[in-house]
Amino acid sequence: MEELTIIVKTFERTASLMRLLNSFSKLNLNCPILICDDSKKNCKKILDRRFPNLNLTYTHAEFDIGLSAGRNLLLAQVKTPYFVLCDDDFVFDERTDLIRALSVIKAHALDILGGDFYNYVTVSNFKRLIKLIFWETNKFIRLVQNKFETSRYIGQFKENGTELNFCISHKAPNENPWICDAVNNFFIANTKSVRNMGGWDPELKMGEHEDFFYRCKQHHLKVAYLNAFGVRHYPIISSSYKKYRFRSFEFKTQFVKKHGFSLYKEIQVDTGLVLFEIQLNA
């Protein structure tokens, strides 16, 4: 996979990052892997010792520069025509078929091609385990059985004056690839196309997802979803990570203001439910 580079922005989740890199090792990935870590501790020595077989480039950035700034730093380092965007709580397996995804994005002249999350239950601490056992028994059973839930994220932006609706479907379309405006934060992308639209807004440390894809739409990037292409997802919120993770509302509000909207809604089109809403004062 000489045409691909994997980029990973990580923050205060070294154990998750190690699990992701271990999955790369098992699959014998030989493409460049770029890591930007804005955690308090530098873990370069640990990674070099644990994963000598991987083509790793590790950058320890200023503490809490944020997702967007970190991803831009990585994007500037990519030397291949395509890159794969990863979060640190992913795990690759046989369903993460990068060769197929690369062939599809090239055959259909796409700029971005996304897939599914296979969400697995995790136990990040003792309190979480107790909660699973006594109050979320079904999740605990899935944990024991190593079962997962497939999460699809196929988005479309609809503008109505100063109102912006972000319509999200979770149903797999019959047609592949399926053209849309937004996909999960797991995708393969044309490096030049993403650079030309400016990458991520560095002012948005969290909640950058909608802004990134809305600007992709403004720049006429061709985005699509591919069924049966995805990645394992093990969401873990550690105590050191927790207070930084839940800042999305602040930055999503900034996104709404930035683009001149007074009302923003995320709507699940499969059910008609409004999942999230921001109403700004006139």
- The residue type of 226 is L
The structure's pTM equals 0.90
Q: pLDDT tens-digit profile of 45-75?
A: 999 999 999 999 999 999 999 999 999 999 9
Q: 126 or 210, which is more confident?
A: 210
- Whole-number Å distance between alpha carbons of 126 and 34: 33
- Whole-number Å distance between alpha carbons of 114 and 227: 9
Residues 6+ apart with CB under 8 A from 45: none
The CA–CA distances, whole Å, from 237 to 89, 139, 249 equal 10, 17, 17
- Whole-number Å distance between alpha carbons of 31 and 43: 21
Strand 112-120 relative to strand 223-233: parallel, antiparallel, unpaired?
parallel
In this predicted structure, what is the pLDDT of residue 191?
Answer: 98
DSSP 123-173: --SHHHHHHHHHH-HHHHHHHHHT-EEEE--EEEEEEETTEEEEEEE-SPP
Phi-psi group of 114: left, alpha or beta (phi > 0 → left; psi -120 to 50 → alpha; rest → beta): beta
Q: pLDDT tens-digit profile of 214-261?
A: 999 999 999 999 988 999 988 776 666 666 666 777 889 999 999 999
